[in-house]
Structure 1
């Protein structure tokens, strides 16, 4: 076994990048070792350093994910990527048409991160911010993306989700969540009725890229005092239309 620090070993950087790239599909050391063709001991050493650097995150129970530092770096690239110019008009239009705060989130491995936020001219501001991660089970975008996933992929994700209660209204059982996801598949949009943050309501829809892969979603958010759930359901077609426009701009044939 080498006694050199992991990144000082010959070829360590390419190996680390292979591990980091594989984290978009795998979370366990054994699976990462299989995907990269590297020994488990090497993968474990590289992950340890990547965690220390912030490029990889862990739940402490043997599951790893792309870390916040890598996401911030990716967001800088995204800001210069065509996605910005492709999504911006539709997001701005959605804000103007609904008078709600608009969010766009991208999926990175097993996590979702806000990459765009459009605020209406209101006396208040939502606490969300670009670069912030959002939970799958209690956010409208998270549920919209999950509902659009292939069944096998969804099951694998649900196996890793802690389904913690963020408010008294959060769905905390797999049965309740999967039932709502089934409803979302029929309607084309997902709702968050105070489930992620008490007093906030949201409607979200999934966005696909040119390969038909679900790569994120768009949502509108508002205060429960301003809009009833019925109000937001009436705005849902506007949200799904915006998601369709963004998907089309990314090459999704629909």
Structure 2
């Protein structure tokens, strides 16, 4: 659905309400709508969800295809393109860098190792860590991938995901037992997620590794699903310690969320 070159130029130069370039804002909005829809959509779906006319969407999608950020499928639908992977990987590394000052505060205030993790597809990936100063401490390699069902961060990240989507994820990954305390049934995991919603935090109680307890909370309004946690020996991360640690976790998560919203750390 072609448009004249004059209208394309005018659109590209039109100021957006925020003072930016309207066509850029629209293009990024379409990419986010595609991601929300599972990565593949048709033009009519984008038009219905965005309120933009089909000619405008078609022009923007052609540009995104030419740049490699979107590709057109044989069925004429549009999918997120492979060039976004490089941007995502770099952004994930940077997100971990921004989080480190906040994780360092967690270590100072709780005495335990602090981590940040993201949900990447069906897996949890750790993107940042600051180790405890104790001689006996927990250590998870940055970049390590684990399944969500046996981790505190996994529970925190999935707590508000619809039950049918959680069941579909678990069906894809399976629920292998890391220890004898690992939750290995979908119903058991959904019950644990309900408990996370009730309490406001998640617990890994010897489920990933015997002798280790982890407390985790999600980072509210994070640009990508993220959670922070502390982990330590079960003898130190007791019920009594949990009552003191959780408010610190929640406060740091809120401050990290605010920093990410302003595109940089303030801690």
Instruction: State the Cα distance separating 1:208 from its structure 2 match.
Output: 3.3
Q: Which position in structure 1 is the counterpart of 2:102?
A: 90
| TM-score (norm. length: structure 1) | 0.66
Aligned ranges 1:1-254 → 2 under 5 Å: 37-39=72-74, 74-80=88-94, 84-85=97-98, 87-151=99-163, 153-209=165-221, 215-251=225-261
Secondary structure of 1:148's counterpart equals: coil
Residue 119 of structure 1 and its aligned partner are, at CA, apart by 0.7
Gaps of 5+ in 1: 1-21, 41-49, 51-69
Q: How many residues align?
A: 199
**Structure 2 stretches lacking a partner, 5+ long:** 1-33, 43-69, 76-81, 263-267
Q: What is the distance in 1 between the residues matched to 2:181 and 2:131? A: 25
Q: Could you tell me the TM-score, scaled by structure 2's length?
A: 0.63
> Which has more radius of gyration?
2
Q: Distance in 2 between matches of 1:93 and 1:251?
A: 19
In 1, distance between residues paired with 2:71 and 2:149?
30
The answer (yes or no) to whether the contact 1:75–1:115 under 8 Å persists in 2 is: no
- In 2, Cα distance between equivalents of 1:103 and 1:240: 14
> Following the alignment from structure 2 to structure 1, what is the Cα–Cα distance between the partners of residues 110 and 137?
16
* SS of residue matched to 1:96: helix
Map Cα deviations across residues 82-111 of structure 1 (whole Å, 9 max, x no partner). Answer: x633x2332111110000000001222222
Residue in 1 that maps onto 2:28? none
Aligned CA-pair RMSD: 3.5
Give the C-alpha shift of residue 25 in structure 1: 7.4
Distance 2:243 2:251 in 1: 13
> Do 1:100 and 1:220's aligned partners in 2 also have CA atoms closer than 8 Å?
yes
1:168-226 deviation line (CA, Å, top 9, x unaligned): 0001111111111101001110000000111110000011336xx66110000001133
Q: 1:40-96: per-residue Cα shift (whole Å, max 9, x none)?
A: 9xxxxxxxxx9xxxxxxxxxxxxxxxxxxx69x855544446x633x2332111110
Q: Distance in 1 between matches of 2:194 and 2:105?
A: 29
